[in-house]
Structure 1
Amino acid sequence: MVHPHFLLHLAIILIVAKYVSALSLKFKMPPVLGMILAGIILGPSGIDIVKTDIVIEWLAKLGVIMLLFSAGIETDLGQMKSQGKVSLLTASGGVLIPFGLGIGTALYFGKDIFTSTLIGTVLTATSVSVTVMTMIELKKLHSLEGTSILGAAIIDDVMGILLLTFVFGLHGGSGNITIAIVKIFAYFAGAFVFGFFLFKPILRYTKKLNVEAGVLAVALALCFFYAWAAEKAGIAEITGAYIAGLFIGQTRHKRTVREGVETLGQSFFIAMF
């Protein structure tokens, strides 16, 4: 249900987000930290003057999708390939360590093996979006460290989904595991084939139409399509948006799309997230 004062809440969120970001920078802190603290204070855990409703939730979802889309556009694919081994090892540690500690702790407190495994699996989850936002604000996205961390976060997300699928599959039958794994791999195969062969001609044709902001609109449509397909395959929407951004970043329209997405995102949608 839409809150009767949701426009006022939007105004408060936008103003507070930008002023708190500026204050955070003065104290040499990532603006995202200030925005998280402001959200806690303004929300139900604090003074409770900003209410979330379906509109704000959807705007926040669009914000995080656009954030990862922008990060994908900015990513140096060659550098990411060179850091693949580091990212894989980092992601493996980020999954296996909390998974093992979660199981061990739950068993220690008397939980059964399925519950313990489920708790361990839940602890493998990471917030890719906060990581990306922090690196962008610290201007570390293009560094070797930033590329490794971002690659690890994306791999971690996929590994976490596969692990969760495996755990529930063991509980509900091996057929569930097979179907889920096939869907995930089919998505990645389709996404890479479509992105590699069709993104450039689609954007090139759109450019010839000479429609105002046509390239940006079509690029956003491709981003949302990839995010939707990822969700249907059982993967996080933001992973799909990031992959779409990777392919947009390989076209000559990279700068146009990046500037448009950053303007839309930073001025409105990302603040909602």
Structure 2
Amino acid sequence: LHSSFLCLGSDGGASFNSSVADQQAEIETVAKVTHEKGKRNDTQENNGTRPFQLQDVFSLENEDSDDMTLIDKKNNVFVMSNKKSKYPILQVDLRLISDLVVIIVFAAIGGIVFSCLGQPVIVGYLLAGSIIGPGGLKFISEMVQVETVAQFGVVFLLFALGLEFSMTKLKVVGPVAVLGGLFQIVLLMFLCGVTALLCGARLSEGIFVGAFLSMSSTAVVVKFLVERNSTSSLHGQVTIGILIFQDCVVGLLFALLPVLGGNSGLLQGIISMGKLLLILSIYLTAASLLTWSFVPRFLKLMIQLSSQTNELYQLAAVAFCLLSAWCSDKLGLSLELGSFVAGVMLSTTEFAQHTLEQVEPIRNLFAALFLSSIGMLINVHFLWNHVDILLASVILVIVVKTAIAAIVVKAFRYNIKISFHVGVLLAQIGEFAFVLLSRASNLHVIEGKMYLLLLGTTALSL
């Protein structure tokens, strides 16, 4: 290790000096680690005294690579992003490639194992991530880079969800789906908010936990109903209607998270929410106009140009999704909301199903990456040391959600049997809760043990 400074641009000293002069950067001593073959523990390796470590199989530190890592005084680790060179050269981060290979392979293994056991593959992805992450075998070197790539999973998950959006399905059991679904979410948010205040926690944290717990897994429930030929039953129709409404509300919950994450008072929070709703209204109005005037013509053109291959159509659909997500993020909303709106815009056209078929492989790949990256945040030791608390939390969630959903459905004059069936089907916590949880953690709505508790509870409830 030796002291070094990080070049901030291709013009070397000029960029370094100007950045410091403009007070955009400050001088700090860092340690530079160069990963070259034979530089680490040469003596031990030569005489055979260094023990074999499993991490070495997944590490590129013994390869012929000149990748560098910088470590500051607070032990923050930085990866060199643009090495200064006289001529433009192709630069490859082999450690990132290695990390992606590891996470994809382990996610595939986890998914296969849990699928063979008749369990949701989502849990397999989470478990795979927990095994290879910092709380497990520590196979992943570049956590930030992997998690950044995995965020595309959130975008494509919500894009596909928007593509499956259907007002026709929602109208079948409209009153209980919309009003009942809304009452369930509001009631859980209210109960958790009051509980948080009584326990001395922040109101915003309680409200988020209520919104978090109100989500149920559309994929798991629908798969269960299909396997039992219950999709056309009355309790199946009511359950699917509520699930569709919950899926619609997910986008609005993402818009609410920045307000919950603010440190301002109630008045400032109301003002911020008002601004947010105004921006959201403008954004949705613009999206509606484009849906009517631009989207159908655009998709027809892409279909004509893609008569021989779907490559261009697939690329155009992905670009449309990412552009909408980027615009939403720049307006202060969220990437997630923008991608969901993009899907809804396309769902109104005759090409919705074709678009979904084109983006499904991309969605599945990045969704597995995202869920595995979430799993990397699960501390196995924490789960083992708090297994009693987690099991108690899962039982409490199932009982409370079943009771609330059953009471709400019964209020719409359905009999007790149907109400109870719907309550049981909605008792788990859905996969999109992981997306909400990740976003809430980034905005500091929740932190620490509560994050790990919700993460473990969700995984076990599925």
**Could you tell me which residue of structure 2 aligns to residue 206 of structure 1?**
302
Closer/same/farther in 2, CA of residues 28 and 62 from structure 1, 3 Å limit = same
Residues 23-63 of structure 1: CA distance to partner in whole angstroms, max 9, x if unpaired? Answer: 11121111001111221222122222124534322321112
Name the amino acid aligned to 1:122.
Answer: F
- Residue pair 1:22, 1:31 contacting (<8 A) in 2 also: yes
Indicate if the aligned counterparts of 1:248 and 1:254 stay in contact, CA closer than 8 A. yes
Residue 245 (1) aligns with residue 245 (2) = no
Which residue number in structure 2 is paired with residue 189 of structure 1? 285
Query: Aligned pair in 2 of structure 1 residues 157, 200: CA closer, same or farther (>3 Å)?
Result: closer
CA contact (8 A) 2:325 2:339 kept: yes
Give the 3-state SS of the residue equivalent to 2:275 in structure 1: helix
What secondary structure, in the 3-state scheme, does the structure 2 residue paired with 1:6 have? helix
Q: Which residue of 2 aligns with 1:254?
A: 352
Distance 1:157 1:254 in 2: 19
1:265 correspondence with 2:265: no
What is the percentage of aligned positions where both structures have the same residue?
Answer: 22
- Residue 219 (structure 1) aligns with: 317
Q: Which amino acid aligns with 2:115?
A: L
**Corresponding residue for residue 122 of structure 1:** 208
User: Is this contact kept in 2: 1:62–1:269, CA < 8 A?
Assistant: yes
Q: Which has the higher contact order (CA 8 A, sep 6+)?
A: 1
CA drift at 1:80: 2.7
Greater helix percent: which structure? 1
Partner of 2:190: 100
Pick closer, same or farther for the CA change 1:139–1:269 going to 2, 3 Å.
farther
C-alpha RMSD of matched pairs (Å): 3.4
Instruction: Determine if contact 1:14/1:272 at 8 Å carries over to the other structure.
Output: yes
Instruction: Tell me whether 1:149 sits opposite 2:250 in the alignment.
Output: no
Change (3 A) 1:171 1:270: same
User: Whole-Å Cα distance in 2 between the matches of residues 120 and 100 of structure 1?
Assistant: 8
Distance (whole Å) between structure 2 residues aligned to residue 130 and residue 9 of structure 1: 31
Choose from 124, 131, 137 the match for 1:34. Answer: 124
Q: Which amino acid aligns with 2:341?
A: I
Equivalent of 1:18 in 97, 108, 127:
108
- 1:121/1:263 Cα in 2 relative to 1: closer, same or farther (>3 Å)? same
Distance 2:94 2:205 in 1: 38
Unaligned runs of 5+ in 1: none
Q: Which structure 2 segments of 5+ residues have no match?
A: 1-77, 80-92, 371-462
Question: One-letter code of the match for 2:203?
Answer: T
What secondary structure, in the 3-state scheme, does the structure 1 residue paired with 2:294 have? Answer: helix
Q: Deviations over 1:248-267 (max 9, x none)?
A: 2333433442222112233x
Question: Are the aligned partners of 1:227 and 1:238 in contact in 2 as well (CA < 8 Å)?
Answer: yes
- Which segment is superposed worse, 28-37 or 168-177? 168-177
Q: Partner residue of 1:158?
A: 252
Q: TM-score, normalised by structure 1?
A: 0.80
Confirm or deny: 8 A CA contact 2:111 2:125 kept in the other structure: yes
Q: TM-score, normalised by structure 2?
A: 0.50
Q: Which protein is bigger by CA-based radius of gyration?
A: 2
Contact 2:131 / 2:137 at 8 angstroms: preserved in 1? yes
Question: Match of 2:277, as an amino acid?
Answer: I
What SS is found at the alignment partner of 1:5? Answer: helix
Checking the alignment, whether the CA contact within 8 Å between 1:94 and 1:124 is kept in structure 2 is no
- Residues 231 and 237, structure 1, Cα contact 8 Å, conserved in 2: yes
Secondary structure of the structure 1 residue equivalent to 2:119:
coil
Cα deviation for residue 66 of structure 1 reads 1.3
Give the letter aligned to residue 195 of structure 1.
T
The alpha carbon displacement at 1:79 in A equals 0.6
| CA spacing shift, 1:226–1:89, aligned 2, 3 Å | same
Q: Residues 218 and 128 from structure 1, CA distance in 2 versus in 1: closer, same or farther, beyond 3 angstroms?
A: farther
Contact 2:184–2:214 (Cα < 8 Å) also in 1: no
Aligned residues: 267
Q: Distance in 2 between matches of 1:65 and 1:84?
A: 28
Q: 1:55 maps to what in 2?
A: 145
Structure 2 residue matching 1:47: 3-state secondary structure: coil
- The one-letter code matched in structure 1 to 2:316 is V
Q: Deviations over 1:171-218 (max 9, x none)?
A: 536543332220112222222221233211011123334585222222
CA contact (8 A) 1:207 1:215 kept: yes
Residue 127 of structure 1 deviates from its aligned partner by: 8.8
